[in-house]
Structure 1
Amino acid sequence: MLLLLVLLYLLFNVGVGFWASRRVKNTTDFLLAGRQLPFYMSTAVVFATWFGSETMLGASSEFAQHGLLGVIEDPFGAALCLVLVGLFFAKRLYRMNLLTMGDYYRVRYNRLTEQIAGFFMIISYFGWIAAQMVALGIVMNQVFGISTATGIVLGSTLVVGYTFMGGMWSVSVTDFVQTVMIIGGLIFISWELMQEVPLQQVTAALPEGFFRFVPQERDSISWLNYFALWITIGLGSIPQQDVFQRVMSARSERVAVASSIAAGFLYLTVAFMPLVLALYAKELHPNLLQEDTQLLVPGLVMGSSSLAVQVLFFGALLSAIISTASGAILAPAAVLSENMLRPLLPNINDKGLLLLSRLSVLLVAAVSLGMALMRSNIHELVSESSALSLVSLFVPLVAGMFWRKTTSAAAIFSMLAGMGVWLLALYLDTAVNPMLYGLAGSIGGLFLGQLLPKNRVPKQDKVREQVAR
């Protein structure tokens, strides 16, 4: 019965996605849902940006093992990102009427900056998408009893199918349905467990310092690494295409700002429920800690819950993963088609660009699928993805938006220096998080590039000044 109901739920999601695909008439519909989403739907879409495998499986595993300090990156850093986007970036970006985040680097700087930024943006997504595919494989292994690898392939095929047809319209409509399912399912499951075993009984067995929010150590390395946890997703995902296209799909700049801030607070609230479930799993089924800790919460539900709870949980889990995976696949595909391939085809019309965007979805999915079949740690895949965009894309975005004198040379030096320093620090395995060295390198590269002689066309200067305003 569980298998049948979950299968019906999967088919329902795919059906909704294909139904929504009928609204796709042009590239703007495919990439930004025609910029028509009302507040309630926009909030659900932005909320679903990260509420997937990392929150339900990765973060819950980290929380059970390392306490509150293990989940600073997500959900705290992730919620911080959405609030910052709403406060400082959404209005400015919405007014520019762009299709992709890569377009910003072209309009504010030049074509070369766009190409470099687009390349870094695309490669940063493969780990993120792979994490969602791994999670789909884990869920299908738990529910259907098939191998994780087979589950990865089958689950990815379902997500890619409706993303290929409907783009952001399919993502938006299914995200709204799935957000309702996620919140309702998690509330019911949490309430059911608390009726069986009081939360006080579970927390009483936890070790001292489990809920410590700041490092106990007073040395600078510990605090620097703690700061790195906050900014990995908190700042690193601000220049990412998935956040951009979800926020920019709103019907107005007011909706874009309000939905981003609302989604940040909603995310922080809802994301604590899987963490609580992980505590129950740790207390009621300690043997699960000896296995793959990413299976803590699914193992808890499969081992001690009623059929109704199992259906609700796996429905919510699949909803979360599918929502995140579909948007994650569409994001780099949009940058690939619009910013990397379109300049090579100057005579392409909108119909051709729409086809190019759909083919890019297949290419991105194929590369990510290969990575998912080779690696299985969701938390590591997500962290690497966010760190890459922080060290290369964040500084040029902020400088271009808030410092009018920033040049294209400064932006390019910033991206290359940040990436180079980060890779070197990774190789040296530094005690301080390598991402902080990369961020420092990106800032240093910006100022170094700013010292180069300025040789810019006056017309471009005016455009860039308008963007900075």
Structure 2
Amino acid sequence: MSPRLLAAPLQLHINTLDYAILALYFLVVLGIGFAARRSVRTSLDFFLSGRALPAWVTGLAFVAANLGATEILGMAANGAQYGLYTVHWYWVGAIPAMVFLGIVMMPFYYGSKVRSVPEFLLRRFGPSSHLLSACIFSLSSVLIAGVNLYALAIVMKALLGWSLWLSIVVAAAFVLAYILLGGLSSAIYNEVLQFFVILAALIPLTVVALKRVGGWNGLHHQLTAAHGHDFMTAWGGTSIGTANPLGANWLTIVLGLGFVMSFGYWTTNFAEVQRALSARSQSAARRTPLIAAFPKILIPAVVIVPGLVAAAVVPGLGKGDLQYNDAIPLLMGQLLPNGVLGVAVTGLLAAFMAGMAANVSSFNTVFTTDIWEPYLKPNMPDAHYLRVGRLVTLVGVLIGIGTAFIASTFSNLMAYLQTLFSFFNVPLFVTFILGMFWKRMTPAAGFWGLLAGTVAAMVNYFWLYKGGTLHIPSDQGANFVSSIVAFAVGALVSVLVTLFTRARPAAELRGLVYGTAEQDSEPVTAADRVWYRRPAVLGWSAMVLAAVCYVPFWV
């Protein structure tokens, strides 16, 4: 059996070399912000990079925006707490939805020339659904930004011993600086850099951690002995009525996570879709999530595995003051030498900045283009909206500082994030998917279906689950059920309201509902006709690869 790590206070011991690596990274980040500033002349430049970025840039930014500190700390925490069941968040809970976004939904988003996800609802259903969705998304953005801030505060506290308050404020200042300077372009180019920095941090940590436990076979033996055989399988113990650490069965995993929660997040979350909308053409926009799908498939190897190692070698993890969220920082502090430790800490800070920047940049876009411009200050000069966007960026960061303390009350950050997704993203997905494929659906149905789905998810979670009426072994299992409830209630209310209200004329739905118009009106270049650049080829290749990855861990 491998030696166990000491359950010592979470404190990283870094030297001058580590600090130099950190300082160099922050200088590069701010330098990118200053360089991107020259390209920001209009509000479209600030919010959507002038729709001028190539697919490989937007694709890497797409996956990096999701690969924030919450993803790294949260999925490592899931690995330590739930074992290999965590791979479902990737191979079932991400890849199919990303493929669906690229192949089916991006032609609607990009072809309609909307600047945000809520703006699509304005064109499809009208002002009531538009304003409600904009408010919901603005709230969820600042809540998720707070999660990223708190995740970084964990690292800063471990790194410097700073208080929670000081860590959060200093970290927020850096993100605020480079978004104010260069808008979305600055965020996206930094996300491309951050993607490679994150990998440079996680790959050495994974290799050293596996060596500590005697490789994969040693890790498998230790965790199987401690937690049972199913802990190291993807589907073992998930039959209906069987208890498992995740508190979910195959049906709630496939429907709750793999369908409603996953599709709700990846197809309607503007923090992701915004990266695709900044692409230079519709073809590039469609390829953006498909390109991102391939690294997403492989990320479990460097995120979940360290969490599994922590479960094997850190006594008392998840108990008392030692939370599952601490798995990655604990391994970094006790396994990595100086220099490599500096790269690892830089990678975590990069991950935080990617996740926080994605949510702040999407918040300033939605608030400015979907709340301020249409309802508060319409028909103003473009320079006015550019100034408002920068001011709202500051406001979003300040609110994120406040919501970071809400996130600090959760021992598993990913459980908190999934709760937010079940409240906000799943009801949006119901409204979008029905509105895109059902011409008869009415504006009133769009509003009441969205509102009913959101309320139903909250009632299920706070009243039935937290109140003790619904007995589910884990928060994650409760989130899957909340997602199914939100989808079912939202769909039912949408159908019922549609039956008793007036639909819009078919002529007004041209280009907004499937089958009403050809979305891809742009000329297809010779490069786009190459077989390996076709969305269908990329999408099905990603789906097959994700399915193959399940084979070694099936049962």
Task: Indicate whether the TM-score tops 0.5.
Answer: yes
Find the partner of 1:340 among 365, 371, 382.
371
Partner of 1:445: 493
Q: Counterparts of 1:467 and 1:102 in 2: how far apart (Å)?
A: 21
Structure 1 residues 76 and 464: CA distance shift in structure 2, 3 A? closer
Amino acid at match of 1:201: G
Q: Counterparts of 1:233 and 1:8 in 2: how far apart (Å)?
A: 39
Partner of 1:209: 230
Deviation at 1:464, TM superposition (A): 4.9
Question: Sequence identity of aligned pairs in percent?
Answer: 23
Find the partner of 1:321 among 344, 352, 355.
352
Amino acid at match of 1:388: F
Partner of 2:553: none
* Structure 2 gap ranges (5+): 1-15, 242-247, 472-477, 518-555
Partner of 1:225: 252
Does the 8 Å contact 2:124/2:509 carry over to 1? no
SS at match of 1:307: coil
1:191 aligns with 2:207: yes
Does the 8 Å contact 2:441/2:495 carry over to 1? no
Find the partner of 1:408 among 443, 454, 460.
443
Partner of 1:269: 298
Does the 8 Å contact 1:137/1:153 carry over to 2? no
Partner of 1:428: 464
Structure 1 residues 121 and 149: CA distance shift in structure 2, 3 A? same
Structure 1 residues 282 and 381: CA distance shift in structure 2, 3 A? closer
Partner of 1:312: 343
Q: Counterparts of 2:502 and 2:298 in 1: how far apart (Å)?
A: 48
TM-score of the superposition, structure 1-length normalised? 0.93
Structure 1 residues 381 and 163: CA distance shift in structure 2, 3 A? farther
Partner of 1:297: 328
Does the 8 Å contact 2:436/2:513 carry over to 1? no
Partner of 2:161: 145
Does the 8 Å contact 1:137/1:148 carry over to 2? yes
Does the 8 Å contact 2:61/2:191 carry over to 1? yes
Deviation at 1:233, TM superposition (A): 4.4
Does the 8 Å contact 1:141/1:148 carry over to 2? yes
Greater mean alpha carbon deviation, residues 383-392 or residues 414-423:
383-392
Moved over 6 A (4+): none
Alignment of 1:10-409 (within 5 A): 10-73=26-89, 76-194=92-210, 197-207=214-224, 208-214=229-235, 216-219=237-240, 222-226=249-253, 227-231=255-259, 233-237=261-265, 238-286=267-315, 288-290=317-319, 291-343=322-374, 344-376=376-408, 377=410, 378-409=413-444
TM-score of the superposition, structure 2-length normalised? 0.79
Q: Counterparts of 1:390 and 1:76 in 2: how far apart (Å)?
A: 17
Q: Counterparts of 2:159 and 2:386 in 1: how far apart (Å)?
A: 36
SS at match of 1:146: coil
Deviations 1:277-299 (A, max 9, x none): 22333334435554122111111
Amino acid at match of 2:249: S
Q: Counterparts of 1:65 and 1:233 in 2: how far apart (Å)?
A: 20
How many corresponding residue pairs?
A: 469
Deviation at 1:224, TM superposition (A): 4.2
* Structure 1 gap ranges (5+): none
Q: Counterparts of 1:204 and 1:312 in 2: how far apart (Å)?
A: 30
SS at match of 1:37: coil
